[in-house]
Structure 1
Amino acid sequence: YGVDLVADARWFGKAETVRKGHAALIEAVPQAHVDFLRSLPFSVAFGDFFFCHAGIRPGVPLESQSPQDLIWIRDAFHDHPGLYPKVIVHGHTPVPEAEVMANRVNVDTLAWHSGTLSALVVDGAEKRILTVEGRPFQS
């Protein structure tokens, strides 16, 4: 959207910089785009897969997951050794290369920083990771 945000550790935690960046983004992003993003579901189930940002709370039915957990959960989800009702495809927790496990697939390879963008390809019963290398974001 043309908003120049400095992507380095110097601005993290600096309230005024965050406020200015937030205000600039609010000004730059068209309301139609905001409305579209707000209309999207927090998760999508497709076949044997459940897609969400961060993960799910073990023991809670998929249809009853809270938006808070779908966006923010980490430890309870990652540490769960058992299977889930579907394979959970998620990000939110960066890893050097995508992880494919029996109960979940993590595709967060920190693309903005690493330049590596990963995705899950599902072809029938076959799962594979597609990875493309690019340039990391530079401020």
Structure 2
Amino acid sequence: MQALTAPGIHFLDARGPEGIRLYAVGDVHGRLDLLAAMYHRIAAEIRQARPADWRVIHLGDYVDRGPDSKGVLDFLIEAQKRDPRHLMLAGNHDIGFLDFLDTPDADGLFMRYGGIQTAQSYGVALNEGGGAWFGRSEAALRQGHAALVEAVPKSHVDFLQSLPFSLTFGDFFFCHAGIRPGIALESQTTQDLIWIRDVFHNHAGLHPKIVVHGHTPVPEAEVMVNRVNIDTLAYQTGNLTALVVDGADKRILVVSGERA
């Protein structure tokens, strides 16, 4: 891995690219209602402010836990078709969904952390009969897996497989979980970009760019000198959060709905 040589940048000094307003949206986790509300707010702001250009950047984790992962993926695919300035990154849950579709694993991320709700949004009951999945037969797992593979449209699989793991605009680096401090941004591993936590969160020094991420839930947007966390546990709290960057101006945008 390539080590860092460039000096870091402080959040207060960071700027977005000239003439492009950025909206970075945190973890959605199946909350189609909040996603639609966020798009309504963003569209209203763009109509009113008329920025020269804009991007909407999603930080991953579209599926699991919330009630309508299928609807979220349908919404995002349509948004991207409508305007390619809607950009989506991969999160660990999105990759976990693909992993389960490829190889069913009762002990994997998908089955342990919200995949049952994802399957339900496709009309598949992985925990049929009630109760927890764990301990049920391998035959039942294979049967549920086959039903889910049949139910998930190829367009959803293609979309998830196409997602990049990071994006850079101006002084900002966007990814799902964070970066490994001391390693150049272009040398970050996929594993770190979608999974890292403590070593990234506990690093007090500046990074080459401000890292905008989700992955680790916080009660409200966490704005630090070197990073911004916008995962506000939307599927449970009913609060979906975005960071808005327009030149030197930075602000937090929140839409709220029902709590789980």
Task: Name the residue aligned to 1:3.
Answer: 122
Of 95, 117, 121, the match for 2:244: 121
- When normalised by structure 1's length, the TM-score is 0.84
Change over 3 Å in CA distance of 1:51–1:24 after alignment to 2: farther
- 1:92 and 1:133 map into 2 onto residues whose CA distance is 19
Give the letter aligned to residue 233 of structure 2: L
Query: Structure 1 counterpart of 2:122, which letter?
Result: V
Task: Give structure 2 stretches of 5+ with no counterpart.
Answer: 1-69, 71-120
- Contact kept in structure 1, 2:221 and 2:231, CA below 8 Å: yes
Q: How does 1:127-138 map to 2 (within 5 A)?
A: 127-137=250-260
Deviations 1:8-46 (A, max 9, x none): xx64x73649x4765554332211221122112111111
Choose between structure 1 and 2: higher helix proportion: 2
Given candidates 47, 51, 67, the residue that maps to 2:190 is: 67
Work out whether residues 42 and 70 of structure 1, in 8 Å CA contact, stay in contact via their aligned partners in 2.
Answer: yes
Are residue 85 (structure 1) and residue 208 (structure 2) matched? yes
Q: In the TM superposition, what whole-angstrom CA distance separates every residue of 1:76-104 from its partner, at most 9, and x where no partner exists?
A: 10000001000000001000001111100
1:21 and 1:107 mapped to 2: Cα distance?
34
Kindly indicate whether residue 134 of structure 2 is the aligned counterpart of residue 14 of structure 1: yes
* Structure 1: gaps of 5 or more residues: none
Inter-partner Cα distance in structure 2 for 1:108 and 1:119: 9
Alpha carbons 2:181, 2:199 under 8 Å: kept: yes
- How far has the Cα of 1:136 moved from its partner? 3.0
Alpha-carbon offset, residue 57 of structure 1? 0.3
Could you tell me whether the CA contact under 8 Å between 1:3 and 1:24 is conserved in 2? no
Choose between structure 1 and 2 for higher RCO, CA contacts under 8 A separated by at least 6 residues: 2
Q: Name the CA shift for 1:57/1:39 in 2 (closer, same or farther; >3 Å).
A: same
CA gap of 1:82–1:34, structure 2 versus 1, over 3 A, is: same
Task: Report the more deviating stretch, 46-55 or 30-39.
Answer: 30-39
CA drift of 1:111 comes to: 0.3
Correspondence 1:98 to 2:221: yes
CA contact (8 A) 2:122 2:152 kept: no
Task: Indicate conservation of the 8 Å contact 2:178/2:197, yes or no.
Answer: yes
Deviations 1:87-139 (A, max 9, x none): 000001000001111100000000001100000000111111100111134xx
Q: For residues 99 and 24 of structure 1, what CA distance do their matches in structure 2 show? A: 40
SS of residue in 1 equivalent to 2:149: helix
8 Å CA contact retained: 2:207, 2:226: yes
Identity of aligned residues (%): 67
In the alignment, the residues of structure 2 paired with residue 46 and residue 15 of structure 1 have an alpha-carbon distance, to the nearest angstrom, of 47
User: How many residues were matched structurally?
Assistant: 132
* Aligned mates of 2:144, 2:204 — CA distance in 1: 40
The aligned counterpart of 2:116 is: none
Tell me, yes or no, if the aligned pair for 2:206 and 2:225 is still in contact at 8 Å. yes
